[in-house]
Amino acid sequence: MYERFLSPGRIGNLTLKNRSIFPPMGSGYVTEDGHPQEQLIDYHVRRVMGGCAMNIVEIASVHETSKSPGILGLYDDRFIPGLAKLAKGIKDAGGIACIQLWHGGRQTSGKPFGGQPCAPSAITCAFIGEEPRAMTAEEIGGIVSSYGDAAVRAIAAGFDCVEIHGAHGYLIDCFLNPYTNVRTDQYGGSLQNRARFGCEVIRDVRQKVGKDYPVLFRMSARENVDGGIDLDEGIAAAELYEASGIDALDISQGCYDALAYTVPPYYYPHMVNAHNAGQIKRHVHVPVIVAGRIAYPELAEEILVQGWADFISLGRPQLADPDYVKKTMEGRTDEIVRCIACDQGCVGRMFAGLGCSCIFNPATGHEKDVVITPAKQKKKVLVIGGGPAGLEAARAAKERGHDVVLFEKGVMLGGQFLLAGKAPHKEEFGASAVHMGYRAYKAGVDIRLYTPAAPERIKAVDPDVVIVATGSDSAAPDIPGTDKPHVFDGRRVVSCESLIETDDIVIVGGGLIGLETMEVLLGQGKKVSVVEMVGEVGRDMEMYIRPYMFEIIERKKVPILTNTKCVEIGDGHVVVERDGRRENIPCGAVVLAVGATSNTGIADMVRELGYECHVTGDAVRPAKIIEAIWGANELARSI
């Protein structure tokens, strides 16, 4: 199986040992002044050790006008020594080292260099909010030359190849798209003119690195913005780029104005870019690389067998499991920790300034700090609760050599992650909950279902340590009328344990559970309104997920009442208070989605029994899944 995926392939004069590539994802492991941190080296080396054939290091600025804090620099010779350590680390581990040449154009701030961003035209990127300066012909020539100069520095640093970033709305892509390029000179107007800048960059790089040095090019097949390129224009641009001298095309899509396409979340389909890549591949003669929700080796193999691409770019899948390729080679695909495209641990953390990682793998980006080592003293550990925190604690404790028993009062493992999997487009969340149970079982944890944590059961195990991971329940707000029969719990509505017959429903609470409840009910044809106490809804949702939910709200014209408090639930209406005034909102049913409260009773009982007790996950404080899993992992490593 996976013969094509595991077979060697060529890009230029390079032979890759298999068809896997680690793409140039931003990591957050770069110093303020543009040098790689040791963490970045460890992060890349770990993926090479897991079997990845080529690592493309993240964006490196080719020019002063694109420098930015936390972005690698390649516009000056002073960056060569640090990058040389990174390239050497990748190569010494058995990988192929590539680096991406980048200029952000209008999608970067001018503040770091004390000027205006530069772009083909003075059209502001809403995400950045700074009007760029339209480049003169002389400036264009200087920046074109800076790409080739940066490529020469990459060679000096020991990189085996370079990739030119011509996608995602950055400078080259900005020239290509008519909605960001309204020039009337030789760089504007026709597609050939708009592609001219990118072609000149390729030719400058090729001229300076020589004919045998591999040069890759990343491009957006389509922009997904009104006035942006469509696939036909993407194909035509690809042909022009190939003719200019590149050795491979790396296919993606989107830009800052269509941000979710650049790192597609769970509501996009698997292999989201494969069709685009396949259409481009039909028109070019160089190898094609494709990324975008290729979480399973089966999908990678299908893409290659169908001839849609020649190489598979595995970013988030190798954050979740750096041994993705190795496990595939060894016939252990059932053990692969699969990315669920939640965008929480990767891009969410990076944009928060915390560094790229993964909810399932706290060692990502912390390879030397988060290590499961053998316990100095083997102990009997009892874990109470089979949700994500309990399963992670149990597995990690078992892998350290402890004797671990897990009690789960219900028939299913997974806890709140199973509930998350009931929401639209999130089936994989539930599957991941089940897989966490499978990983704990494979590690050797003694899992006991239908086993409430009664004192006599705990005494029968006679543990040295008890870890309580009993999760949380829906919060019960102090609102008169919550006990009425037409009042429902949001969690039970999302899980379809509660079915609402009436068509006119008010949801109290506009967080993640409230909005997912809204989506479920809209899918059932219900009329829904949302009442939220604070000034916005969806505050606890990831930035790449919120636009999807807001699009539903706008398309379905859902009334959203922010800064509004529900003060009473009546028969056939709710009473809300806004701006000091009260009003009635008619409805046939009410759904409560106002947060969660920790389950603390079991922990209290364990302490009363006299056992060493540690509490983790939502039983400590209801929070995001990343906090539950990471906290449980840290706890298990301390016992």
Phi, psi of 606, rounded to the nearest 5 degrees: -60, -40
CB burial readout 298-321, b (16+ within 10 A) else e: ebbbbbbeeebbbbbbbbbbbbbb
* Residue 478, C-beta contacts closer than 8 angstroms, at least 6 positions apart: none
198 closest CA partner among 107, 288, 101: 101
Tokens of 26: 């931003």
Sheet holding 446-448, edge to edge: 446-448, 403-407, 380-384, 465-468, 612-615
- The answer to whether the beta carbons of residues 56 and 163 sit under 8 Å apart is yes
Residue 159: burial class (beta carbons within 10 Å; 0-12, 13-18, 19+): buried
What residues pair up with 98 in beta bridges, in sequence order?
56, 161
User: What span, in angstroms and rounded, lies between the C-alpha atoms of 192 and 236?
Assistant: 9
Of 345, 366, 537, 382, nearest in space to 459 by CA: 382
Give the active site residue among 43, 147, 170, 261. Answer: 170
* 142 half-sphere exposure, CB direction, 13 A CA radius: 10
The dihedral built from the CA positions of residue 131, 135, 139 and 143, taken in this order, carries a sign that is: positive
Distance between CA 479 and CA 425 in Å, rounded? 32
Assign residue 525 a region (left: φ > 0; alpha: ψ between -120 and 50; beta: otherwise). Answer: left
> DSSP letter string over 357-426?
-BTTBTTTT-TTTS-----SS--EEEEE--SHHHHHHHHHHHHTT-EEEEE-SSS-S-THHHHHTTSTT-
Contact in structure between 526 and 505 (CB atoms under 8 Å): yes
Q: Which helix (H) or strand (E) holds 582?
A: strand 581-586
CA 439, CA 394: separation in Å to the nearest integer? Answer: 10
Q: Are 5 and 328 in contact (CB under 8 A)?
A: yes
Q: Which amino acid is at 439?
A: R
**Residue 519 contacts residue 541 (beta carbons within 8 Å):** no
Among the residues of 444-587, which ranges form H helices? 455-461, 490-494, 512-523, 546-556
Whether 187 is catalytic is: no
* Residues catalogued as catalytic: 170
